[in-house]
Structures are given as C-alpha cells and as structure tokens.
Amino acid sequence: MTGKSAKDWLLGKALKVVVAVPPLHRFVNRRLINAYAYATGSRPRPFSMAADYTTWPGLTDRRFSGRHLGCARSYTATLPPLEDVLALFQRREDRRASDTSLLFPFFAQWFTDSFLRTKWKEPERQDFAENESNHEIDLCQIYGISAAQTDLLRARQGGRLKSQTIDGEEFPAPLFERTADGVALRPEFKSLYSDANFTRVFAHADDAHKLDCFAVGLEHGNATLGNALMNTLFLREHNRIAGALQKAHPDWDDERLFQTTRNVCIVILLKIVIGDYIVHIAPAEFPLMVVPGMAEEERWYRTNWIAVEFALLYRWHDLIPATVTFAGETRDSSALRHGNGWLRTVGVDQACRDASRQLAGRIGLGNTAPFLLDVKKSSLQMARGCALAPYNAYRKYYGKQPLQDFEALTGEAVLAGKLRALYGSIDNLEWFVGIFAEGYGKAEMMGELLKTMVANDAFTQALTNPLLSKGVYNADTFSAEGLAIIDATDSLADVALRNTGIDDAAEVSFTRRA
C-alpha cells in the first residue's frame, strides 16, 4: 500500500466512524460549515449597489444588490481593453472535468437562476445596481417570484401545479398554443412574466420553440434543456407529494395541500444543495447535512442579501463542453439552448442517465464555448461597471494571503505570461479573471478563492432559510408524511428515482458514471 492509498484508507475509516456517531457527525458538520461561513465578516455589509458609500437604503433596501467590497473606480479605469481580456476565456480545446458530470451544470444553472437575478435594463441605462430576487432559496423556478405568479401556475385542485401529459410523461403546462392567427401565449399565462422580461426572452423565439415551452416560475425556465429537465423533475415531485398528502389528509383543502407541499419541496431542495451539490464542490468527501436550527446559534445567521460578486462568480459557462450526447445523438453543445423539444424526444429518464454519463467541461480560462462568449463579455462588463476591487483584495477579504506572482496563481507559465502581459502586476489583476485563472488539482473542480466564496455564500444564505428554524421545522409545518419524505431525501437522485422509471441512484449523479 502506497503512502497516498494508506492515507485515503485511513480517511475513509475515520469518516465511517464519524458518520456512525450522530453527535460526532453533527459536530464535524458544524465545524466544516463554519470554516467557510466565517471565512469573512457576516452581514450586514457596509456597502451595496445603492451608492458608492454607506447609506440607509444601502443597508436596508434589498432591491439594490449587495457587495462585499467597496467601489474601486480609479482602479477599474486602468484595466486593459475588454476584448483583449475576453480572448483569455475563448475555448482553445475541449477540456473536460476530471469527474464532474453534465448533470452538475444543469442543476447549477437552474438553481442559481432563481436568486441571481440582476434587473435587466436597456444597455444605455444598465448600471447593474438593482435586482429582481427574493434573496431566498424558495423554488421560485416552479412557483414563481410573486404570489400572483404562483396563483397562475396552480391547478387549484388537490394542491397541485398545472401540468400536461406527453407520451405518458408529466411535464409543466404549455406556455403557448396554436391559434387561427398563429402561435400565441395562452390567455391564462398572459401576466405570468413582466412585459419587459417576456419581450426580452421571447421576442426572437420561433414558433417551434414557443410550442415546446413550459409555463414555469421564471422567464428563463425554457432557456436550456437542463432548465426544462430540472423544472420537470421538481414539478413532478410537487404533484406527487401533494397526492400523497391528499390521501393522508382527505379533510385538507387545496390551499393547505399546496402550501404544505411547497414547504416540503423547498426543504428537499435545501438538502440537495448542501448534501449533494456543495459536497461535490468540496474536495473532502464528507457527508455534509442540513441540521435544523443550527444556523440560529451562529453570528452569520442574518437576513439574506445577494451580492453582485455572488451573481458573477457563478458564471460557470466553462462547464458546458464542446459537444453533448443524448440517446446516442451527439450535437454541438449550443443545441442545449431552447432544448425543450430535444428533452421531450429523448425523455426525462434518458436525459438524466446521459447527463450523468458524460463529463462536464473544466472550469477555467480558455474553455468557454463560442456561443457563450457574449455572456462572458457581459459578465466582464458587469464586473467593471460595478467597479469591483482587484483579485488580491478579495483574497485578503476572505482571510487568504495575497499572491505575489501570476505563476503562483495559475501554476503554469504560458497563462501566467498572458496575464502578465495584460496586467503587469498580479495586484492589478481583475477579480473576475483571477477566480477563473486559479490553478487547482485533479481532485478539485475549482480554485481556492472561488470555492471559498461559493461555500461562504451558499452556507450563509441556504441554512438561514426560515423553514429550517427550530420553531418552524416540525410536523405542523410539513406534516408527518412530509417530514418522512424530507428525511428520505439526500440527493437529486432521490427525487429522480421517485419521479422517473430509473431505479438505480448511481444513474443520476453529479459525479460522472461510466
């Protein structure tokens, strides 16, 4: 046995011991979570996008996005030409992750689109200051951002959401219909999205795509095959649970069935985020878990407020590989856009299996697909428009030593040389470029600062959910049956197995399966 294999064997044994003793498991779980949650100061933060300095609206009005560090306008005025920096992101070769499956970016985009919602404005007015976020993990992907949207999506019978059956499979209800005058938005959904957001998303959509679209909570819910897949799985889970609760509680009306089912589904998502999604990101394979009430005992238990840095660091377009394969058909990955029709053809079961079998792209510079470069460009424009501080300033903010040279950042000479030619000194490096320039090992999926920032925001804005508080987490909130379903859920595979014909959890995984 080599030194490394012996170490891995001992670590595996130690993990089994920890997990086998619940108090010890909870103790280590808390320590690991707090290691990231306390990586920097807790909310409230002195700055937001309301102003370049501390103001009362900036401390209280969550219509303005938060920010971790104050404005650095004199610094951003010295940055190299944007097009020269954008060239760093352009894919040179199709580099794949070591073990991350395509299912991971499908979930990541769908999950983060629900709370990373910078308000769209006309380009000449865009200041990136405002957002349209609820700042909560609330499954608005299927329930909508507002109560009015939720009302439009509800079936008003048995606590269910509106849906349709296609070739024996349940999907969300159709958003458009064919009329004598052509394809039109179905009358019941005319006010589902704001006029501005609807026009922005569907103005250039052709009739074929419109007829494939589903009525879901967010206007971007039909943007990709992955979004459609996740919306379908969680809609099925909602309707399945509503049916189970109706059977157990025949005296409950539609309102109570819906609201209780919604509570259960939100906590199911929280458990998947912590115990499946974040565990995959973390380099140590420790079974993190949601412990209701734990966050209330910590200083970081504060009102959620999404920051512009959080909205930007999730631009993981590199995770989308050059090609994707479903049901034996390989296409350019751009086919994932507006991919509802492909999902319906392939089927939810096969899409889950195939997404789990193929590797995602590798996070890092030089690996963004051509069709996503415009999104990367807008991300750079946003980072500069928000006057974000340089990379090393964020390292210090998160308690890490500033790096002294580009080689220490990238671990490779060629990329370090390109960065040096653009920025001169690493102290001038843009934060948005730096987090994607970080080198990292084969066992990891992202660099040190990026991982720390993801985990810090994830833990301190997921575990603060009101449904996890001590006074709320009980059978009155979820029902005994709902609590049992929550307890039986640890991964996305659990949801998939309950709502598809898949019977092997290994076939639905964020870790690529052969």
Query: Could you give the CA distance from residue 209 to residue 478 in angstroms, rounded to a whole number?
Result: 38
Beta strands in 176-247 (DSSP E): 176-179, 182-185
Amino acid at 213: C
On the 0-12 / 13-18 / 19+ scale of CB atoms within 10 A, 251 is exposed
Half-sphere exposure of 321 (CA within 13 A, CB side): 20
332 - beta bridge partners?
323
- The predicted pLDDT at position 14 comes to 74
Superfamily of domain 38-173+214-501: Haem peroxidase domain superfamily, animal type (1.10.640.10)
Read off the pLDDT band of 123 (50, 70, 90).
confident
What's the chain's average pLDDT?
95
What is the tens place of the pLDDT at every residue in 417-446?
A: 999 999 999 999 999 999 999 999 998 999
Helices (DSSP H) in 405-474: which residue ranges?
A: 406-410, 413-423, 431-437, 448-462
Region 395-417 average pLDDT: 98
In this prediction, residue 120 has a pLDDT band, given cuts at 50, 70 and 90, of confident
Q: In this predicted structure, what is the pLDDT of residue 363?
A: 98
What is the pLDDT at residue 6?
61
Per-residue pLDDT band at 19 (split at 50, 70, 90): confident
| Three-state DSSP string of 376-395 | HHHHHHHHHHCCCCEHHHHH
pLDDT exceeds 90 at position 372: yes
Listed in sequence order, the residues at least 6 apart from 9 whose beta carbon sits closer than 8 Å to its beta carbon are: 1
Question: Taking 60 as the threshold, does the pLDDT of residue 3 lie above it?
Answer: no
Question: What average pLDDT does range 367-372 have in this prediction?
Answer: 98
For residue 229, which of 140, 372, 355, 145 has the smallest C-alpha distance? 355
425 close to 265: Cβ distance less than 8 angstroms = no
What's the pLDDT tens digit per position in 240-291?
999 999 999 999 999 999 999 999 999 999 999 999 999 999 866 789 999 9
The yes-or-no verdict on residue 237 having pLDDT over 70 is yes
Helix (H, G, I), strand (E, B) or coil at 423: helix
Tokens standing for residue 502: 């898949």
Beta-carbon count within 10 A of 6 CB: 10
Both tokens assigned to 88: 């760093």
Cα distances from 344 to residues 142, 167, 181, 208, 360, in angstroms, run: 18, 9, 26, 13, 22
Q: Please compute Rg for the chain using Cα positions.
A: 23
DSSP 182: E
Mean pLDDT of 114-125: 89
Alpha helices in 438-474 (DSSP H): 448-462
pLDDT score, position 17: 81
Tens of pLDDT along 477-498? 999 999 999 999 999 999 999 9
Mean pLDDT of the region 37-48: 96
Domain ranges of the chain: 38-173+214-501
Residue type, 445: M
Q: Is the pLDDT of residue 1 over 60?
A: no
Q: pLDDT-derived band of residue 124, with 50, 70 and 90 as boundaries?
A: confident
Q: CA triplet 375, 211, 234: central angle to 5 degrees?
A: 70
CA angle 449/31/47 to nearest 5° reads 45
Cβ-Cβ contacts under 8 Å for 56 (sequence gap 6 or more)? none
Rounded alpha-carbon distances, angstroms, from residue 287 to 30, 240, 379: 12, 27, 33
For range 135-161, the mean pLDDT: 98
Residue 214 CB partners (closer than 8 Å, separation 6+): 171, 172, 173, 174, 175, 221, 222, 228, 231, 232, 340
Percent of the chain with pLDDT over 70: 97
